[in-house]
Amino acid sequence: MRVFNKTSCLVKPVGQTWSGKLALSELDQTGVTTHVPTIYFYKHSLEQDWLTVLQTLKTSLSSTLVHFFPLAGRLALITGGRLELECNAKGAHFLDAYTDINLVDLDTLLPSPIYHQLIPSIDYQNTPIEEIPLLVLQVTRFVCGGFSLGLSISHVVADGQSALHFVSEWARVCRGEPLETPPYLDRKVLRAGDPPRTSVMIEHKEFGSPPVLIDQSGENEREKETTVAMLNLTATQVEKLRNKANQSQKSDTSHGYTRYEAITAHIWRTSCKARNHKPEQPTSLAICVDVRNKMRPPLPQKYFGNGIVTVIATGCSGEIVSQPLGHVSGKIREVINKVDDEYVNSVIDFLKNQDDLSGFRELIPSNGSDDGHFYGNPNVGVISWLWLPMYGADFGWGKEIHMGPGTHESDGDSLILHGKEGDGSLVVALCLQMRHMEDFKKVFYQDIE
């Protein structure tokens, strides 16, 4: 596949927006500092020609950015390794291109090296942070008339919930409908208190360095070639994993372990087996927890920013592999359950008291970035997209035929998504070192049965 004639422009808010420096919350400062890519594929539409489609997308984006104006701004590095958001309406970077194949010519619409040509890349190494757009997108037309929409949104500005809120509202505006729910943009509701919000002292091990392979350096593991696989789980297989977890260890609720807890435990166990760890090998599992409804009071509806904290489950590979699935699921539930209002406020206050936050970034894998902690072998990160409103982005030419994560190339990075058929099936999008992937897939399915 070849992609031709990439042309670009900056799309700015059509109306005047608030300008100035917007302070970021502590949770914005310490997660993934790169852009998070997603991609949508659409069939051919006979209703409008291509130039009209492009102009409609740009015009509606310009209108939507009036409400989501932080996405039209830029980041700036300030003292203490911290970032702030300059709301200056510089705009989003919009590219359009065409390719020489039909949609049906793609072997799969799932993540592959082809995505690198359909989703804009960001040169973090050679571009000053003040010049990097926070929203970058590419619309690519296929020979058949279908097209892809590849989006990359800065994770400093928006987490998954906020990013999909933006996409949903942009699609509504593009269809000619009014905005449904404006974003809540005041981040002071998640900023550290003065005096501190909580007096409880909690040790936050999640901000320490993750384990490395025994007798090896994490840097060596970082350099290993990775590959991506999409592992499909039928509704029956999902229930088998839940039953295994609940039969082998009594859960603390009448509903038993969740799909996420059981599948994540299965991913963690399988990675330890496929990587052939020594029994005494320390291993960590990174889990992202949405705090919007954990706070008291809950965060305002459609809070726009990062409402996520990362918690870490730990163990030794011998324990993870030899103990029943319910035991491993229990370790996951234990760290998730500790996230409440008091815990989140203790995280915020802990971060506020740090002299330099630059060393607290990249705690979870993202897009192969070499910055910060490496969370690959012997560790994994499992992010749930099960609660996100992923599907149904209709910009006026019908809903997408496929939507999913973009390129992700960091060892141990995984996502759990709904199957597109809506039949209870799930998909695990996994990045792993190439030398371990075939063993992982074999063990992953064998152990379910």
Q: pLDDT tens-digit profile of 264-314?
A: 999 999 999 999 999 999 999 999 999 999 999 999 999 999 999 999 999
Specify whether the backbone of 102 is left (phi greater than 0), alpha (psi in -120 to 50) or beta: beta
Q: Could you write out the DSSP letters of every residue in 358-385?
A: GGG---S--TT--SS----TT-EEEEE-
- Does residue 364 carry a pLDDT above 60? no
Q: Which residues of 334-361 are buried (b: 16+ CB within 10 A; e: fewer)?
A: ebbeebeebbbbbbbbbbbebeebbebb
Residues 393 and 432 occupy one common structural domain: yes
Q: What is the pLDDT of residue 236?
A: 97
Place of tokens 């059509």: 14
Cβ–Cβ < 8 Å for 64, 170: yes
Residues 174 and 233 occupy one common structural domain: no
Q: What is the pLDDT of residue 217?
A: 60
- Does residue 56 carry a pLDDT above 80? yes
Q: Rounded to whole angstroms, how far apart are CA atoms 139 and 57?
A: 9
Residues 173 and 215 occupy one common structural domain: no
Residues 294 and 375 occupy one common structural domain: yes
Residues 173 and 219 occupy one common structural domain: no
Q: What is the pLDDT of residue 62?
A: 98
Residues 20 and 141 occupy one common structural domain: yes
Q: What is the pLDDT of residue 253?
A: 47
Mean pLDDT, residues 95-124 taken together: 83
- Does residue 371 carry a pLDDT above 90? no
Give the pLDDT band (50/70/90) at residue 382.
very high
Q: What is the pLDDT of residue 311?
A: 94
Here the contacts of 148-151 (C-beta below 8 Å, separation 24 or greater) are 148/39, 148/40, 148/41, 148/42, 148/118, 149/39, 149/40, 149/42, 149/395, 150/37, 150/38, 150/39, 150/40, 150/115, 150/118, 150/119, 150/120, 150/406, 151/37, 151/38, 151/39, 151/40, 151/119, 151/406
Q: How far out from the chain centre does Cα 353 lie?
A: 27
CATH number at residue 267: 3.30.559.10
Cβ–Cβ < 8 Å for 7, 97: yes
Q: What is the pLDDT of residue 49?
A: 87
Pick from 218, 227, 229: nearest CA to 435: 227
Pick from 187, 191, 413: nearest CA to 288: 413
Residues 43 and 76 occupy one common structural domain: yes
- Would you name the residues annotated as active-site residues? 155, 394
Give the pLDDT band (50/70/90) at residue 400.
very high
Q: What is the pLDDT of residue 142?
A: 92
Q: Rounded to whole angstroms, how far apart are CA atoms 160 and 164?
A: 6
Pick from 160, 165, 221, 168: nearest CA to 383: 160
Give the pLDDT band (50/70/90) at residue 406.
confident
Residues 183 and 224 occupy one common structural domain: no
Cβ–Cβ < 8 Å for 302, 182: yes
Q: Rounded to whole angstroms, how far apart are CA atoms 3 and 225?
A: 25
β-sheet with 74-77: strand ranges across: 20-23, 83-87, 74-77
Give the pLDDT band (50/70/90) at residue 107.
low
Mean pLDDT, residues 154-176 taken together: 97
In a domain? residue 198: no
Task: Quick: pLDDT tens for 232-278.
Answer: 999 999 999 999 999 865 545 456 999 999 999 999 999 999 999 99
In a domain? residue 105: yes
Mean pLDDT, residues 149-168 taken together: 96
Task: Quick: pLDDT tens for 26-50.
Answer: 999 887 788 999 999 999 876 678 9
In a domain? residue 202: no
Q: Rounded to whole angstroms, how far apart are CA atoms 286 and 271?
A: 13
Domain count, the chain: 2
The proportion of the chain whose per-residue pLDDT surpasses 70, expressed as a percent, equals 89
Q: Which 3 state secondary structure label does DSSP give 203?
A: coil
Q: What is the pLDDT of residue 221?
A: 84
Residues 186 and 216 occupy one common structural domain: no
In a domain? residue 205: no
Cβ–Cβ < 8 Å for 237, 406: no
Pick from 70, 298, 33, 293: nearest CA to 189: 298
In a domain? residue 388: yes
- Does residue 373 carry a pLDDT above 60? no
- Does residue 129 carry a pLDDT above 60? yes
Mean pLDDT, residues 56-60 taken together: 97
% helix, strand, coil for the chain, step of 5 = 30, 25, 45
Alpha-carbon torsion, ordered 365, 356, 84, 372, to 10 deg = -20
Task: Quick: pLDDT tens for 329-348.
Answer: 999 999 999 999 999 999 99
Q: Rounded to whole angstroms, how far apart are CA atoms 117 and 148?
A: 11
Give the pLDDT band (50/70/90) at residue 2.
confident
338 DSSP 8-state letter: T
- Does residue 13 carry a pLDDT above 50? yes
Q: How do strand 20-23 and strand 226-233 relate by DSSP bridges?
A: unpaired
- How many Cα atoms sit within 13 Å of 137 on the Cβ side? 24
Q: Which 3 state secondary structure label does DSSP give 154?
A: strand
Q: What is the pLDDT of residue 363?
A: 41
For residue 287, give both structure tokens: 């889990």
* pLDDT greater at residue 3 or residue 241: 241
In a domain? residue 196: no
Q: What is the pLDDT of residue 68?
A: 98
In a domain? residue 334: yes
In a domain? residue 201: no
Query: What is the extent of the structural domain holding 229?
Result: 210-448
**What is the average pLDDT value for the chain, to the nearest integer?**
89
- Does residue 144 carry a pLDDT above 70? yes
**Rounded to 5°, angle at Cα 425 from 411 and 312:** 40
Lowest mean pLDDT of 50-59, 215-224, 374-383, name the range. Answer: 215-224
Pick from 74, 110, 111: nearest CA to 89: 74
